[in-house]
Amino acid sequence: MRVAFVTPRYGPQVMGGAETAARLLAEHLVAECGATVDAFSTCALDHVTWRDELDPGESTLNGVRVHRFRSRAGRDRGFYDLDTRLRLGPRHATRRESERWVELNGPVTPDLVEAVRACDADVVAFYPYLYYPTVLGIGSVPMPAVLHPAAHDEPALYLPVFRSTYASADALCYHTVAERELVERLHDVAERPQMVLGLGVGEDAGTGRAGGDALGLGSRPYIVSVGRVDDHKGSSMLAAFFRTYKERRPGPLAMALVGPVAAKIPPHPDVVVTGAVSEADKWDIVRDAAVSVSPSALESFSLVVLEAWVQAVPVVVNATCPPTREHCERSGGGLWFGSYREFEAVLDRLLADAPLRRRLGEQGRAYVDRHYRWPVLIRRYERFLETVVARGRRQPASGLLAADPA
């Protein structure tokens, strides 16, 4: 089977949930199913500017043939004005306004779309729904198209331009049931072939070094939050909550924020902001944490929650984030908070109750073993793609796509 992935950024240097997910699926399809996989992407690493940083052209990465295209335009400065205006009432944006939003958001890549259209893949997987390559590509390819929305409840999801994106998908692949429910609340796609897949995780890839040593905390207990340190990911909120917590609960407890930094976190003697770290360091740090916190309300899957469970570390998640909360409710591997008071009560309880931490961690690990190990997961995905290929391309709805806005 020949599979093409379309994603706006591609590569191990890219820190982005959807892009990482696309790359992992592509690589595991090659390695474990013997599929021929092409990835169509841009030369960008930064999802804010979409600046061309990598060389255009073809290369091979872990068995996947990667085709990179320069962007005709990255994110336009005018995007922010339009976005600010539309996010107040995205459902009421006009079709033209929301098309303009997609153009200004970038990356504008008509060459990429043309190349996907002309490729010889049996099926094309578009990942995620939000950007130009998917919006312009999914309705125009001749082969069956699978949409991996990677959607979360954000204003953009309500823009009218995405109706045709969803309507053009022959099949959908979701990260979680919560994501499927969200998409189906907004789009009439429930009868389409679909699956809730998620992502696979591997085993602990740490070196065995104590996490406290990696953080310079010695033997102090700590909680950890892994992922981009960003306002939108809840990092500033978590830092403020933790500062207040420490004012009310002085003691040795520290917090580590692990990941590339895109937000200003005020310095605090009990908060360590590591920046990007190696995979080995990340696993070492998470393994020895008392609790792993996912403060983000805008996740569509959250690999870091599953990685904590691989090491039997209990998690605490944002109560308003349906996918991470779904993980906790289905697995019994974590708790959630919806305010500072709940955050404090959850943390107090977990830190004081070692059997509870152990039990949550074990239940989380069992959940990962049951659902998110690569060999089983990638075979399910392969079978799913085969059924999509067998069904063929459905008749595109009329008037789906605007003319190329570039």
Partner 1 sequence: MTVPPGATHGTAGTQETGGTDEAMGVYLASVMAEIDEEAHRRRGELPARLERELDALFLEHAPMGNRQGDMSAALRMVDASVFIDPVVPVASQRPAGAAVKKGLRSLNLWYIGYVTHQVSKFATAVSRSLHLVDGQLQELRRLVPPPSPAPVVAPGDAGSWWRSTALDVLGAAPGRVLHAACGDGWLVRDLCGAGADAYGLDPRPDAVERAELDGSDLRSGEVLAHLRSVEPFSLGGAVLSGVVAGMSAGERSELLALLADRLRRDGVLVVHSLTPVAWTADDAPVGADLAPGRPLRSGTWPHVLAGWQVEVHQGPTAEDYLVVAQR
Within residues 305-324, the interface with partner 1 by CB under 8 A covers 320-322
Member of 55, 349, 392, 404 binding partner 1 (CB under 8 A): 349
Member of 16, 363, 372, 378 binding partner 1 (CB under 8 A): 363
Q: Report residue 233 as tokens.
A: 């990911």
Q: How many alpha carbons fall within 13 Å on the CB side of residue 298?
A: 14
| Closest alpha carbon to 125 in 116, 277, 329, 44 | 116
Member of 59, 344, 374, 406 binding partner 1 (CB under 8 A): 344
Cross-strand partners of 6: 40, 126
* Cα→Cα distances 383→1, 33, 228, Å: 11, 10, 33
Cα 305 from chain centre: 12
Number of residues that bind partner 1 (CB under 8 A): 77
| Closest alpha carbon to 317 in 340, 290, 296 | 296
Member of 34, 264, 376, 392 binding partner 1 (CB under 8 A): 376
Within 155-174, the residues that bind partner 1 by CB under 8 A are 155, 157-158, 167
DSSP letter, residue 261: B
Within 95-154, the residues that bind partner 1 by CB under 8 A are 152-154
Smallest gap, in angstroms, from Cβ of residue 57 to partner 1?
37
Decide if residue 268 touches partner 1 (CB under 8 A).
no
Member of 58, 260, 339, 369 binding partner 1 (CB under 8 A): 339
Member of 47, 68, 327, 371 binding partner 1 (CB under 8 A): 371
DSSP letter, residue 273: E
What's the CA angle centered on 376, arms 373 and 378, to 5 degrees? Answer: 95
Of 21 and 253, the one with the shorter C-beta distance to partner 1 is 253
Of 209 and 380, the one with the shorter C-beta distance to partner 1 is 380
Member of 11, 160, 193, 396 binding partner 1 (CB under 8 A): 193
Member of 115, 263, 298, 400 binding partner 1 (CB under 8 A): 298
Within 222-261, the residues that bind partner 1 by CB under 8 A are 231-232, 234, 236-237, 240-241, 244, 249, 251-253
Output phi, psi for 273, to 5 deg. Answer: -105, 110
DSSP letter, residue 44: B
| Residue whose tokens read 């997961």 | 377
